[in-house]
Amino acid sequence: MSAPEFFDEGDLVGVLTTQPLGRTLDYKAPEGGCHPGAFVEVPLGPRKVLGVVWGPGQGDFDYARVRSVIRVLDVAPMRAEMQTFLTRAADYTLTPLPAMLRLATRAPGLGDPPSMRKIYRRGMGTPDRATKARTQVLETLREYGDLSFTLKELAEMAGVTSSVIKGLVKQGVVHEEDSPRDLPFPRLDPDLPGKVLTEDQARGAAQLADAVRSGQYGTTLLRGVTGSGKTEVYLEAVAAALRAGRQALVLLPEIALTEQFLSRVQERFGTKPAEWHSGATMTERRRIWRMVGQGQAQLVIGARSALFLPYQNLGLIVVDEEHDTSYKQEDGVLYNARDMAVLRAAICDAQVVLASATPSLESWANAEAGKYRKLELTSRYGAAVMPKMGAIDMRAEGLPSDRWVSATLKKEVDQRLAKGEQAMLFINRRGYAPITLCRACGHQIGCDDCDARMVEHRFLKRLVCHQCGETKPMPTACPACDAEDRLAPVGPGVERLGEEARALWPDARIAVLSSDMYGSARALKAEIAGIADGSADIIIGTQLVAKGHNFPNLTLVGVIDADLGLMGSDLRAAERTFQLMRQVAGRAGRAEAPGAALLQTYQPEHAVIRAILAGDEEAFWAAEARERKQAGVPPYGRMAGIILSGPDVAQVFDAGNLLARQDAPLRQIGAQVFGPAPAPIARVRGRHRVRLLVKADKLVPLQDALARWVAQVKLKGELRLAVDIDPQSF
């Protein structure tokens, strides 16, 4: 039976809401009827909630008692392909469909009345007669310059009734117009002359453009060292999509979404694209949501949630820095935006480009297996060459325990400064010191809410838990033994490294970049743009400087602790370290001046460090692939994490142990269960978390068995269960 094209008034429709209630509820279509996919407001008990007309109703209840849809919202109905996407994504991640729907209805204001809002600002005319109320309106408008207000806002701010404002509109003193949230985006022009591509780049661009023109699904892994022109190449794929009249989406890790990047897009297409990110205003989000739905926003640049916008005709998804761990959402719905991009594209016959200098092992393996096309840019653009890599053997440096810059590294930095070039010192640790130790009793200050240590942040003058975000003022006395003034910082963080650098180079301009030191993403981006223009001699930063920024005058990167990521038991540690080090090193020498990267390490003979130094990616991946194959872990086996959490640790473990014993559904498919063990984050905000890991052969249908298995847990009281398909750490 094919789905109906329209529901007439009184027809039974099945509405999916974002409330956690299983699947759909039956309602009667409202006066005027509705389309399948329509966004509607429905009664639910005493409340009104947002929902989507998912299909025909079930008809399980007495028709007379079924309630009616209250109203249909004035937005385009959800397309069938979006419904398919949400359903499959929910199935894949074992997320309840309503939670998935929430990701697609997050644009605020979806529930607003459909009537268009008007906004008001200063007009050209002068009032025929100056009353006190009128003067107040004019003064308010003068005070706020060019800003526009809704009628209610303006009336409230000026302290007048709306009829005063309406009167001024008639005289042209106040200008009334439609809210800009629905102002169209300027057209992008794919036919502007782009940069002249190198032969290598042009070949890649043509290949991607062909793929986009095919109008079929396909994924390409675009590999190339930092600075090889991947961005230039995929922008040509975007151009091809625009020429074909299809929409394009470029996903970036949030922090890489910079003005610098947007200007490049503007340069190529003549105007800025729609920008979807966490800092966007409500009004802007709603405007983008609508414009994307009308097919009017041709190109969206966004963070991972941009995948859930209501594209009308999506032809291309680029996932830049596809290996980036921030694509995995670790809160709420656990999904990996890279994998969801591939799913989305397959449903709407679009192309995917996964771009990276250091792809994830998953994508590398998919390309090796022929599931993804491979496209490689082998050299850096122009004169720029890959930086020379070297190790500094810290065992030979004899540094005191409260210093981190070796004499060798200091000398190298000196040389760059003398030439007027920039140097970067990289350490992947926020704050001042990772440990605060009491010298009297040996106590280390920990978080009250979870098991992590508190990290001292001098900049904020507080202790911060990097796990749960809890903060408290830095105490003067030890919380364990009350000794005064015996608390000492142990180990380096980015702030402490900054202090050391200021002592070593008192005359240099030093910028310390860490996400927590800026009030907003915008302030941070402004600082980064300033640095690119030469406002600092030495840049000291955490992971965030490793991502996608272009510092043309930077010629040396010193990695303070290359061993840091190799500690711990995470099986992905080697991959992470390899990627991060390559990426950081890639910051150096992007323009004409050749670059170098120096790794301070206590284990220069470690296989990962050696592979990084040799720059031999293929060798590294081949070795890493062998190990993972042997262990039967992703991408050569499938894994899922089951996290049980609750306030009572015994109850959580009991539930975990019981589940581990009831493993019949898993044994049927040959999957194994490990645990329960304390989860990687064992306690968050007072809740204890245990994890069971499930390992299965790559080809078995894991989700079905998992769903049947976890359904056996009785979620009593505060006990919660979350399924994490393809966990990041295992």
Which residues sit in the known binding site for Zn(2+)? 438, 441, 447, 450, 465, 468, 478, 481
For residue 470, the partner it binds in Zn ion, ligand ADP, none, with Cβ less than 5 to 8 A by kind, is: Zn ion
Q: Return the closest-CA partner of residue 487 out of 499, 497, 477, 472.
A: 477
For residue 197, the partner it binds in Zn ion, ligand ADP, none, with Cβ less than 5 to 8 A by kind, is: ligand ADP
Q: Which of 325, 550, 662, 729 binds ligand ADP (CB under 6 A)?
A: 550
Write phi, then psi, for 671 (nearest 5 degrees): -90, 155
Contact between residue 630 and residue 623 where contact means Cβ atoms under 8 Å apart: no
Question: What is the Cα–Cα distance from 423 to 432, expressed in whole angstroms?
Answer: 21
For residue 148, the partner it binds in Zn ion, ligand ADP, none, with Cβ less than 5 to 8 A by kind, is: none
253 lines the binding site for ligand ADP (CB under 6 A)? no
For residue 450, the partner it binds in Zn ion, ligand ADP, none, with Cβ less than 5 to 8 A by kind, is: Zn ion
Question: What is the Cα–Cα distance from 230 to 380, expressed in whole angstroms?
Answer: 10
In whole angstroms, the minimum distance from the beta carbon of 234 to ligand ADP comes to 8
In whole angstroms, the minimum distance from the beta carbon of 320 to ligand ADP comes to 8
Q: Is 293 exposed, middle or buried (0-12, 13-18, 19+ CB in 10 A)?
A: buried
From residue 441 to residue 460, what is the string marking binding to Zn ion with x (rule CB under 5 A)? ------x-xx----------
Question: What is the Cα–Cα distance from 152 to 119, expressed in whole angstroms?
Answer: 10
Nearer to ligand ADP, 230 or 496 (CB): 230
Nearer to ligand ADP, 160 or 584 (CB): 584
Nearer to ligand ADP, 233 or 655 (CB): 233
Q: Which of 18, 83, 95, 231 binds ligand ADP (CB under 6 A)?
A: 231
3-class state of residue 316 by DSSP: strand
Question: What is the Cα–Cα distance from 209 to 202, expressed in whole angstroms?
Answer: 10
Residue 377 to residues 95, 203, 331, 366, 372: CA-CA distances in angstroms? 38, 10, 35, 18, 16
Q: Which of 93, 219, 228, 579 binds ligand ADP (CB under 6 A)?
A: 228
Contact between residue 197 and residue 331 where contact means Cβ atoms under 8 Å apart: no
Nearer to ligand ADP, 220 or 226 (CB): 226
In whole angstroms, the minimum distance from the beta carbon of 85 to ligand ADP comes to 28
Known binding positions: 438, 441, 447, 450, 465, 468, 478, 481
Stretch of 3-11, 223-231, 300-308, 643-651 contacting ligand ADP, by CB under 6 A: 223-231
Residue 670 to residues 92, 595, 597, 634, 643: CA-CA distances in angstroms? 19, 51, 47, 16, 21
From residue 462 to residue 501, what is the string marking binding to Zn ion with x (rule CB under 5 A)? ---x-xx-x-------------------------------
Stretch of 60-68, 193-201, 412-420, 633-641 contacting ligand ADP, by CB under 6 A: 193-201
Q: Return the closest-CA partner of residue 380 out of 357, 361, 411, 412.
A: 357
For residue 226, the partner it binds in Zn ion, ligand ADP, none, with Cβ less than 5 to 8 A by kind, is: ligand ADP
Containing H/E element for 29?
Answer: none
Q: Which residues in 44-103 contact Zn ion (CB under 5 A)? A: none
Nearer to ligand ADP, 260 or 326 (CB): 260
For residue 726, the partner it binds in ligand ADP, Zn ion, none, with Cβ less than 5 to 8 A by kind, is: none
Instruction: Please list, in sequence order, all residues whose beta carbon lies within 8 angstroms of the beta carbon of residue 699, skipping any fewer than 6 positions away.
Output: none
Site residue total, ligand ADP (CB under 6 A): 15
For residue 500, the partner it binds in ligand ADP, Zn ion, none, with Cβ less than 5 to 8 A by kind, is: none
From residue 368 to residue 397, what is the string marking binding to ligand ADP with x (rule CB under 6 A)? -------------x----------------
Stretch of 170-178, 194-202, 302-310, 518-526 contacting ligand ADP, by CB under 6 A: 194-202
Q: Which of 71, 166, 175, 195 binds ligand ADP (CB under 6 A)?
A: 195
Strands (E), 252-397: 274-276, 299-302, 314-320, 351-356, 373-377, 388-393
Radius of gyration of the chain (CA): 29
Stretch of 107-115, 226-234, 284-292, 464-472 contacting ligand ADP, by CB under 6 A: 226-234
For residue 195, the partner it binds in ligand ADP, Zn ion, none, with Cβ less than 5 to 8 A by kind, is: ligand ADP
In whole angstroms, the minimum distance from the beta carbon of 344 to ligand ADP comes to 23
Q: Which of 17, 93, 140, 201 binds ligand ADP (CB under 6 A)?
A: 201
Contact between residue 397 and residue 407 where contact means Cβ atoms under 8 Å apart: yes
In whole angstroms, the minimum distance from the beta carbon of 692 to Zn ion comes to 23
Nearer to Zn ion, 456 or 537 (CB): 456
Q: Return the closest-CA partner of residue 40 out of 264, 323, 30.
A: 30
Nearer to ligand ADP, 35 or 195 (CB): 195
Nearer to ligand ADP, 201 or 363 (CB): 201
In whole angstroms, the minimum distance from the beta carbon of 341 to ligand ADP comes to 18
User: In the structure encoding, which two tokens stand for residue 149, read together?
Assistant: 């207000």
End-to-end CA distance of the chain: 44
Contact between residue 721 and residue 644 where contact means Cβ atoms under 8 Å apart: yes
Question: What is the Cα–Cα distance from 103 to 337, expressed in whole angstroms?
Answer: 12
Residue 230 to residues 46, 117, 255, 307, 377: CA-CA distances in angstroms? 54, 42, 18, 21, 7
Nearer to ligand ADP, 88 or 195 (CB): 195
**Strand order through the sheet with 388-393:** 388-393, 596-601, 554-559, 422-426, 538-541, 510-513
Residue 284 to residues 88, 144, 289, 292: CA-CA distances in angstroms? 29, 19, 9, 12
Strand partners, 353: 220, 318
Residue 274 to residues 297, 298, 418: CA-CA distances in angstroms? 7, 8, 43
Name the residues that contact ligand ADP, by CB under 6 A.
195-198, 201, 224, 226-232, 381, 550
Name the residues that contact Zn ion, by CB under 5 A.
447, 449-450, 465, 467-468, 470
